[in-house]
Structure formats: structure tokens, C-alpha cells
Amino acid sequence: MTDTHVHAPKDTDTEPHGDLCIRTLAMPADTNANGDIFGGWLLSQMDVGGGVFASKIAKSRTVTVAIDAMNFRKAVYVGDLVSVYATLVRTGRTSMTVHLEAWALRRRETQPILVTDGNFTYVSIDDEGKPQVIKRTEPPIVT
């Protein structure tokens, strides 16, 4: 059996991997009692970005059915510019696994840092909300 999981990149990664899906600013309303950004807020931003990416791949609505291998590496602070990047890990008949990375660009910094990453599984659904086969398109052959 082949291991299809994407393991967490090392902390030494200096640049994001994958397609940029969403970019947002962490605001004071998104904080916990300690003044840091809620992990749940960050998770939701990743899910929104991953959903955009998955729907683009499936060419349909998608729903999140699983989240695993989450790594909360660094805190996110008010004023951080958070960007979510997606990479397709696996495509099944009706589902796909997407590796998501959240990177934060802090004020007065020039390099973003990896703050969170994980694997999200999405299922392609039809207009009635039932799973449907993902229509795979082959890339054009260049001659």
C-alpha cells in the first residue's frame, strides 16, 4: 500500500508551496482571550481556501468531509496578512485530498512564515447534495 499522505514540511521552508487560494488580514475580532488569533479562525480560512481550490478542480460544489494532519506551528497575530496555498495530494472517484499551508506576513517583515498546514478532504456534490464523480480533465498535449 502506498502512503498518500503529505507530511508536514520542515520548519526550514522559506516559501509557500501550491496555488494561492485566499489572502486575508487577521483582525482584532478574530482573537482569543490572550489576544492571539483563534486557531478556529485560521482553520476556517484554510477551509475556505481549500474549498475554492477543490471546487475549481472538481468543477462543482464541494464539501469538507475530513481534516487531518493539522500542524499549528506558530501563532498568528492581529495585523498579520494570512495567505493560504493548496496542493492536490490525491483524487479519488468522488473525493480529493488537498494539502493546505497558511503563511503569515507580519508587520514590518518581508518574508512570510509557515504558521499552519494540514490535509483536508473534499467531496464533489451535485445540486441535490449527493456525491458525484469528479470529472477529470487531461492537460492538453503539447507538440
12 within a domain of the structure (yes/no):
no
110 within a domain of the structure (yes/no):
yes
- Quote the pLDDT of residue 12: 53
138 CB-near residues (< 8 Å, 6+ apart)? none
Query: Which of 95, 76, 90 lies closest to 4, judged by CA?
Result: 90
53 within a domain of the structure (yes/no):
yes
- How many domains does the structure of the chain reveal? 1
User: CA-CA distance, 76 to 104, in Å (whole number)?
Assistant: 7
Kindly tell me the burial class for residue 99, based on how many C-beta atoms sit within 10 Å of its own C-beta (0-12, 13-18, 19 or more). buried
The model's confidence at residue 142, banded by pLDDT at 50, 70 and 90, is: low
HSE (side-chain half, CA atoms, 13 Å) at 9: 19
132 within a domain of the structure (yes/no):
no
- Quote the pLDDT of residue 120: 98
Q: Note the pTM of the prediction, 2 decimals.
A: 0.85
- CATH code of 30's domain: 3.10.129.10
Q: Is the pLDDT of residue 8 over 60?
A: no
47 within a domain of the structure (yes/no):
yes
106 within a domain of the structure (yes/no):
yes
DSSP string across 91-128: E-SSEEEEEEEEEEE-TT-SS-EEEEEEEEEEEEE-TT
41 within a domain of the structure (yes/no):
yes
The model's confidence at residue 1, banded by pLDDT at 50, 70 and 90, is: very low
- Quote the pLDDT of residue 99: 98
Average pLDDT over every residue of 15-41: 95
65 within a domain of the structure (yes/no):
yes
Percent residues over pLDDT 90 in the chain? 80
